[in-house]
Structure 1
Amino acid sequence: MSATADPADKSNPATRLGFEEGQIVQELGYDDDTDQDLREGIEEITGTDLVDEDYDDVADAVLLWHRDDDGDLTDALVDALEYLAEGGLIWLLTPKTGRDGHIEASDIADAAKTAGLSQTSSIAIAKDWAATRLATKSTAKQPKQR
C-alpha cells in the first residue's frame, strides 16, 4: 500500500457498501456468527450505532443477516421493508458458498423478486459473508450518485 492511499478503503470493508455519515442502519438477524469488523466499520462510517428490530422509526438502510436455516427469506425481506425509509436499501448478508447456512443466488433472486425488490449487485464483503444489494423498484431506477 502506498503512503498516499486512503487506509479506510482497504481496512474497512464497509466502505464498499456505500453508507454515509449520519445514516441510520437497522440490523436484523444478528447472531454470534455475524462479522464484527463489518458491523464496527459501518458504525465508523455512519457515526451512529446500528439499531435493532426494536427501533421504532424508519432507517436509511437495513442490514439483514440471513442463513438458510433462519426461515423464509421472502418473509424476512418483506419484514425488513417495514423499517425502511423511502429510497432506502437492504443489504442482505448471507454465508458464502461452502459455509454453513449458504443460500443459493437463485433463491436470493427469487425471494427478492417476490418481495418486490431488485437485486442490483453482490459482493464478497467479509471472510464468511457475501452481501447482496436490494432496492425497492423506485430506488433501483434512481441514479446511484447524489
Structure 2
Amino acid sequence: MSATAGQAADGVRSLADRFGIEPGMVVMEMGYDDDVDEDLRDALADRCGELVDEDTDEVVDAVLLWYRDGDGDLFEVLTDALGPLADTGVVWLVTPKAGRDGHVEPSDISESAPTAGLQQTSTVNAGKDWTAARLVTPRGARKSK
C-alpha cells in the first residue's frame, strides 16, 4: 500500500493534509464553541501538537478560525487573526456549510477578506457541517508588513 493510499484511508491524516499542517507548526485556534468539529481539531492537534489559543504570544504558522454568521464583524475577526500570523502563514476560515445554522455567505468572505488584506486561494471540506476557506496575505503585500 502506498503512503498516499494509507493517508487517504486514515481520515485523521487526510484532514491534516488538506489543511497543510505539518509537525512542529504552531496553530492558533479562534472562535471555539461547543459546535466545532472535534474530529478536525483532533486531526490538526495530532499533527502539530496542541492548538494554542488566541492569547498566545507566539508567532503562528496557521490560524484555525471558526466563524458563524452573527459572530461579529468578519473584517475585524480576520484582522485580529492576522496579529500573531507569520508572514507566510495561512488563515483557515471555517464556516458552517449552506443550510446549517450560522452559514456565512461566500460573498461575505469575498468582500471581507481583501479588505483585511487577505486573498482566498482555495476551499476545502472541513467535516460534516463545516467548510474552510484558505486565506493568505498576497505575496506583494508581505514585504510591506
Partner of 2:54: 53
Identity percentage of aligned residues: 54
Matched residue SS, 2:104: coil
Matched residue SS, 1:62: strand
Measured against aligned partners, the alpha-carbon deviations of 1:9-33 in whole angstroms (never above 9, x if no partner) come to: 6412222111111000000000000
Partner of 1:66: 67
Matched residue SS, 1:6: helix
Matched residue SS, 1:45: helix
Partner of 2:131: 130
The answer for unaligned runs of 5 or more in structure 1 is 142-146
Distance 2:9 2:69 in 1: 31
**Per-residue deviation at 1:56?**
1.1
Cα distance change of structure 1 residues 139 and 25 upon mapping to structure 2, 3 Å threshold: farther
Matched residue SS, 2:52: coil
The one-letter code matched in structure 1 to 2:16 is A
How many residues matched? 138
Q: Is the 8 A contact 1:88 1:139 kept in 2?
A: no
Matched residue SS, 1:69: coil
Distance 1:140 1:49 in 2: 30
The answer for unaligned runs of 5 or more in structure 2 is none
Segments ≥4 residues shifted beyond 6 Å: none
Structure 2-normalised TM-score?
A: 0.89
Give 1:1-146 correspondences, 5 Å limit.
Answer: 4=2, 5-7=5-7, 10-12=10-12, 13-46=15-48, 48-138=49-139
